[in-house]
Amino acid sequence: MNVKVDTDGTVAHQDDAGDVLLSVRNLRKYFPIKDGVLQNVVGHVKAVDGVSFDIRRGETVGLVGESGCGKSTLSGCVSGLTDPTGGSVHFNTRGRGSAHGPLDEGDRIDRMDRATFAKYRRNVQMVFQDNFASLNPRQLVVDIVGRPLRVHGIASGTALQEKVVELLEQVGLGRQHLYRYPHQFSGGQRQRISIARALALDPELIVLDEPTSALDVSVQAQILNLLNDLQAERHLAYLFITHDLSVVRHMADRTITMYLGKVVEEGPTQDLFETPEHPYTKVLLAAKPDLDDDPDVPIQTLAGSIPDPARPPSGCRFHTRCPVATSTCGWEIDDIVRELETREDLFDKLVGVDRKSDLEATLTFSDSAAAHAVWEAIRSDSVPETMRDAIETLDVRDGALMVRFAKPSAIELREVGTGHRAACILAGE
């Protein structure tokens, strides 16, 4: 399916659009950073920064990435639990099997009228990672699972109780569990209760936020098989968020890889696992332990740590940790500052950074010796060679260091196969 998007991020046209249930366009969620007595906003944490994707009816879309990449924040925006900073979430509320055109501005969840928004909330449910915290410890199972039915006026009294029993039986529990509290169940049973609650309103999309990560391996398999059976029976769509690549390969039709708030690769799951195009996806796959691996060979790991999401790298955000980064991947002044932060003796002498742009600035130090030391450090092997190659100007005068980087290449998601896109200048080569 091809999707065309207007310059403002809204959906302009969709081929086979009647199959699209959820459409996320240029979604952004920034959290303010406040400081001082007056709690003034001094910056923003860019948890989700320009993410777009679609979910079709009956499809499972996997969302993977390291902790802190924005997966859970994105799930909150999709499920309506968190208001986005920008962009849009479009949802088809017309019902299964209805004839309709592509999703448009009238399908934006933040512009729906009250009745339409109620339909959206009924049709998008969520299963959380922490199955104990997400269940009210003071309520019985019959109240936990039955509450959505009461709130939406679907059932009450004896009819509600029988509906709850039916839902529990669908997830492998029964009538004998109605009058028990969450603490009286195992982790797997509590997750089944969470799934039963999510099914209560007969939704079309369920957002699964790490639904098996807190469970034993054998219990994980039971829950995954249950989810597969329910999807086949009810024609459910899943947004499956996890860091477990084995689970994604088993569950997802399509997979999206996120890094530091952005999508770096997306495509059919089989293609993503067999022919990954982005270096980050390749590293994630290589870091996954396998029973066939030689136990004497160390597992591949990522060098460095995730950069501060309050000031993410420009260009490809992965370039600061990428093993195959080039000089045009997006090196900037902040990369110099990050290098200095690893050298406390030099960073403590940094007085200020006078920026002309992200690519050009003058760094002022407390003395000329420190400026010369930084100049020598940048020219040495202590910084990546590709970063040195990206520097057009590096001059030191007294206690100031003038730095200018070459303009980087445009880093955008581009087609590398049928329905397969990657945000890397090396993709497809």
Quick one: pLDDT at residue 88?
A: 94
**Beta-sheet strands, E only, within 146-216:** 205-209
pLDDT at 246 over 90: no
Quick one: pLDDT at residue 290?
A: 66
Better-scored residue on pLDDT, 8 or 347: 347
Quick one: pLDDT at residue 298?
A: 66
**pLDDT digit string, tens, across residues 86-116:** 999 999 988 765 555 678 888 999 999 999 9
Lowest mean pLDDT segment, chosen from 10-24, 39-53, 224-238, 330-344: 10-24
Q: pTM for this structure?
A: 0.87
State the pLDDT confidence band at 344, using cuts at 50, 70 and 90: confident
Quick one: pLDDT at residue 18?
A: 52
Quick one: pLDDT at residue 17?
A: 45
**pLDDT digit string, tens, across residues 184-197:** 999 899 999 999 99
pLDDT at 304 over 80: no
Token pair for residue 247?
A: 């689970």
Chain centroid to CA 56 = 18
365, 349 contact by CB (below 8 A): yes
Averaged pLDDT, 330-355: 89
Token pair for residue 122?
A: 């009924």
Averaged pLDDT, 384-388: 91
Averaged pLDDT, 50-69: 93
Averaged pLDDT, 77-88: 93
Quick one: pLDDT at residue 49?
A: 93
Quick one: pLDDT at residue 26?
A: 95
Distances (CA, A) of 331 to 53, 341, 344, 423: 27, 16, 22, 16
Domains and CATH numbers, the chain: 3-252 (3.40.50.300), 333-405 (3.30.1360)
DSSP for 117-143, written as a single string? HHHHHHHEEEE-S-TTTTS-TTS-HHH
Burial of 319 (0-12, 13-18, 19+ CB in 10 A): buried
Quick one: pLDDT at residue 68?
A: 85
The length of the chain, given as a count of residues:
429
State the pLDDT confidence band at 419, using cuts at 50, 70 and 90: very high
Of 7-21, 194-208, 374-388, which one has max mean pLDDT? Answer: 194-208
**pLDDT digit string, tens, across residues 140-187:** 999 999 999 999 889 888 999 999 999 999 999 999 999 999 999 998
Token pair for residue 113?
A: 């009228």
Share of the chain above pLDDT 70, in %: 91
Averaged pLDDT, 211-236: 89
Average pLDDT over the chain, rounded to an integer: 88
State the pLDDT confidence band at 294, using cuts at 50, 70 and 90: low
Give kind and range of the element (H or E) at residue 420: strand 420-422
Share of the chain above pLDDT 90, in %: 62
Averaged pLDDT, 221-236: 93
